[in-house]
Chain A
């Protein structure tokens, strides 16, 4: 029934928090809110040191089209605006807010999407600071306003990486809210149909979502295979269409949004509630792994404490999943795109010579030859890398995952991409 995307790998089903209900994390005493948590322009701070802020108050915004405002996740006082490392590995100016413990909210007013214009709804989504919550953090108001006509909205509930269960729990516990968001998104982007894509290791989530199927919204249960949650492969699996290289999903009439984003859109439009919290799975070597509904700006260390602290002796903190997540070198704040905090042990694995087994070629969903790309990159033959479509690499990690010689293939390809990007300038 569904087309299979090329390559990919079957990852072990390691999701210890799949059946643990979402728990509300304590709003922390101090939050650090980065002024850029999204793809696009950095926000200018709208508050200064010493200012009092309320929960949900806009504290940063940008006139740029491709950007998204940020809001105060607590009520309290701005104590500093300073650069802070964020989970993506960048360092960006951030607003540090000392909470007063009152959690005093701004007044929120929703709108009726049926009685509002497309533009009004888009403005609401933008104003609430909604970005893609699956990890990429692309501003949602831009995504829902494609320059070409789209016929299909795909709601991505694949969540194929091990350990991450935040979307899974959201679908199980707040299916109705997710669907409300889906309806709003359909209306805004003009898609006639919406497909909610869920992998078959989350049958309970699919069952919950199926209760809301109607003629236009359907649930697709896909065989679990990583990286199906990558939008390019999801589009291929569901529609058979292929996004042209260098293009975007709207080029083939599709818009893809994550389930948590749909929920955030419903909150923004129906309640006027800005995006100041999200569900994050805190897992791995922690005492009590949890799915936490946590305020943006909460430090990772506080969230780990919320789960009883580290268990065993992890020496790595990863923002995101084990396949594409970013290893942290210091304590960082939770940002909109962080779906998982994974504590784990590093593995000292020596890189060996390539034995040319071809496993990476078979596993690459993009149809690349990772072994060749890596060897070109190692020898600094970057023009050969470009010729072999290095720029098409999504860094999904399948190649390095299957490599028997434990070569960090993705890292070599990243280096080539960085060089080629630099050379283009």
Chain B
């Protein structure tokens, strides 16, 4: 027998890419359930189209590049996340086009999992919002604070100065994207990921903390701004995407603070009401720079 020779270490922790991806998918199930509960079974159809397109696109792109397709869960996750950022009223070609763009252009054209610069689901959402703004701004009707409304809490705040109640924002029975309305559902998933150490608490805490603090300083209601809109799904599930965020703890805090500042600037001083997607994409672009300059202190150096 010829013994096998391989470099140390000879044992490995059991964690795999698949385990991580499917855990994040698992953590999104409360948000999916809340979406179905508040907006109806159409939510599941949109998710199915989005996920199927994402996986099919990845399969085709990998084939086209002569690489092996591997269902590691990352395409499913991108499809799912994209669907959750869409209004529940969109026609079915919207998730299909969005997923195709997210996986085909934003992820695979840059080299596939691990090589993309921007968070695919968010880039897909932005692509849809810029291309079909009317469709992406149509919300289901809800009984709002002053009668029937088809606006999101952030739109009500911006245009009418109306603050939706915390309880409503926490539970999620108001108009918005399929997966972003229920803070409770997102919190359950996010805390699960933090407890199991799949994501670093530093990003959601620094991100939401910065938004809350700056809004307070600007005389706004900080709790409202943390609960309303896409901040929570962004903070727990988008800004924690490994590939497009910094490698170090300190880098992640900088990422979170930067994204938080951008959200506040956009919500307060631009025509936009939301700002979460742009804030994360802009910070994605800074990630290589942050990793270049924000590094841990090397043992035995500079102390």
User: Interface of A with B (CB < 8 Å)?
Assistant: 6, 9, 11, 162, 232, 236, 242-247, 315-318, 322-330, 342, 344, 346-347, 349, 352-359, 361-362, 364-369, 371-372, 388-389, 392, 395, 397, 400-406, 408, 410-411, 414
Question: Considering the complex of A and B, which 5 residue pairs feature the smallest CB-CB distances, nearest first?
Answer: A397-B9, A353-B114, A245-B300, A346-B4, A367-B296
* Chain A hits for B248, CB < 8 A: 358, 361, 369
Identify which of B4, B15, B20, B244 contacts A327 (C-beta below 8 A).
B4
Give Cα distance in the complex from A214 to B108, angstroms.
65
| Contact A357/B12 with A243-B300, A245-B300 known, Cβ cut-off 8 Å | no
In the bound complex, CA of A74 to CA of B248 (Å): 55
A409 to chain B, nearest CB (A): 10
A404 near B19: Cβ-Cβ < 8 Å: yes
For the complex, is B115 an interface residue (Cβ under 8 Å from A)? yes
Give the interface centre of A322, A328, A356, A410 by most chain B CB atoms within 10 Å: A356
> Cβ of B12 and Cβ of A349 under 8 Å apart?
yes
B13 and A401 form a contact (CB under 8 A)? yes
Given contacts A372-B247, A388-B295, contact A356 B242 (CB under 8 A): yes
* Complex alpha-carbon distance, A176 and B244, angstroms: 56
- In the complex, what distance in Å separates the CA atom of A326 from the CA atom of B9? 9
Q: Are A358 and B242 in contact (CB under 8 A)?
A: yes
- Name, among B113, B243, B247, the residue most crowded by chain A CB atoms within 10 Å (CB to CB): B247
* B17 within 8 Å of A (CB atoms): yes
**Shortest beta-carbon distance, B112 to chain A, in Å?**
7
B5: chain A residues within 8 A (beta carbon): 316, 327-329
Instruction: Please determine whether A355 and B17 come into contact, CB atoms closer than 8 angstroms.
Output: yes
Once the chains bind, are B6 and A242 in contact (CB under 8 Å)?
A: no
What's the least CB distance linking B14 to chain A, in Å? 9
Q: Given A356-B247, A401-B11: A369 and B19 within 8 A (CB)? A: no
Rounded to whole Å, the gap between the CB of A364 and the closest CB of chain B is 8
Query: Can you name the residue of chain B whose Cβ is closest to the Cβ of A362?
Result: B249
Known: A242-B299, A404-B15, A405-B17. A369 touches B247 (CB 8 A): yes
With A397-B9, A401-B13 known as contacts, the answer to whether A327 contacts B3 (CB < 8 A) is yes
Contact check, B11 vs A355: say whether CB atoms are below 8 A apart: no
For A317, what are the chain B residues with a Cβ–Cβ distance below 8 Å? 3
B298–A353 contact, CB under 8 A? no
Q: Considering the complex, which residues of chain B in the window 285-303 have a beta carbon less than 8 Å from any beta carbon of chain A? A: 291, 295-301, 303
Docked complex Cα distance between A326 and B295 (Å): 31
With A242-B303, A346-B4 as contacts: A369 and B10 at CB distance below 8 Å: no
- Complex Cα spacing A344 to B6, Å: 12
- Residues on A with C-beta less than 8 A from B19 are 404
Q: Do B3 and A368 have beta carbons less than 8 Å apart? A: no
Determine the chain B residues whose CB is within 8 A of the CB of A354 once the complex forms: 114
Closest Cβ of chain B: how far from A340's Cβ, in Å?
12
On whether the beta carbons of B299 and A232 are closer than 8 Å, the reply is: yes
**B residues 6-61 with Cβ under 8 Å of A?**
6-13, 15-17, 19-20
Q: Which of A323, A355, A361, A371 contacts B8 (CB 8 A)?
A: A323
B7 and A347 contact, CB distance less than 8 A: no
A397 near B8: Cβ-Cβ < 8 Å: yes
Cβ-based interface call for B217 (8 A) = no
* Pairs across A and B, CB under 8 Å, 13 listed: A244-B301, A245-B298, A322-B11, A325-B8, A327-B7, A353-B115, A355-B242, A358-B246, A358-B247, A368-B298, A369-B247, A400-B12, A402-B13
A5 to B74, CA, bound (A): 34
Q: How far is the CA of A311 from the CA of B177 in the complex (A)?
A: 59
Residues of A contacting B298 in the complex (Cβ-Cβ under 8 angstroms): 245, 366-368, 389, 392
Distance from A8 Cβ to chain B, minimum over Cβ atoms (Å) = 12
- Bound Cα distance A389, B296 (Å): 11
What CA separation (Å) do A405 and B20 show in the bound complex?
11
Are B9 and A410 touching (Cβ within 8 A)? yes
Q: Which residues of A contact B291 (CB under 8 A)?
A: 369, 372
B1 at the interface (CB under 8 A from A): yes
Q: How far is the CB of B4 from chain A (nearest CB, A)?
A: 4
For residue B299, which residues in chain A have a CB less than 8 angstroms away from its CB?
6, 232, 236, 242-243, 245, 365-367, 392
Rounded to whole Å, the gap between the CB of B199 and the closest CB of chain A is 9
| Contact B242 A326, beta carbon cutoff 8 Å | no
**Chain A residues in 8 Å Cβ range of B295:** 367, 369, 388
Name which of B5, B20, B242, B249 has the most chain A CB atoms within 10 A of its CB.
Answer: B5
Interface contact A361-B247, CB-CB below 8 Å: yes
Q: Are A410 and B300 in contact (CB under 8 A)?
A: no
Distance from B193 Cβ to chain A, minimum over Cβ atoms (Å): 12
**Complex contact A402–B15 (CB within 8 A):** yes
A403 to B114, CA, bound (A): 13
Task: Chain A residues near B20: list those with CB within 8 A.
Answer: 355, 357, 404
Given contacts A329-B3, A355-B242, 4 further A-B contacts (CB under 8 A): A244-B300, A368-B296, A372-B247, A392-B300
Q: How far is the CA of A327 from the CA of B295 in the complex (A)?
A: 33
Residues in B whose Cβ lies below 8 Å from that of A162: 11
Residues of A within 8 A of B112 (CB): 353
In the bound complex, residues from chain A placing their C-beta under 8 Å from that of B246 are 358
Contact, CB under 8 Å: A358 / B200: yes
CA distance A328 to B15 in the complex (A): 27
What are the residues of chain B within 8 A of A327 when measuring CB–CB?
A: 3-8, 10
What residues of B have a CB within 8 angstroms of the CB of A236 in the complex? 299
Chain B residues lying within 8 Å of A366, measured Cβ to Cβ, are: 298-299
Decide if B113 touches A355 in the complex (CB within 8 Å): yes
CA distance A369 to B295 in the complex (A): 8
- Cα separation A325 to B296 with both chains bound (whole Å): 27
* Most chain B beta-carbon neighbours within 10 Å: one of A347, A355, A400, A402: A355
Task: Kindly name the residue among A325, A328, A368, A369 whose own CB sees the greatest number of chain B CB atoms within 10 A.
Answer: A369
Specify which chain A residues have a CB less than 8 angstroms from the CB of B301 in the assembled complex.
Answer: 244-245, 389, 392
B residues 90-139 in Cβ contact with A at 8 Å: 111-115
Q: Give min CB distance, B250 to chain A, whole Å.
A: 10
Q: How far is the CA of A364 from the CA of B20 in the complex (A)?
A: 20
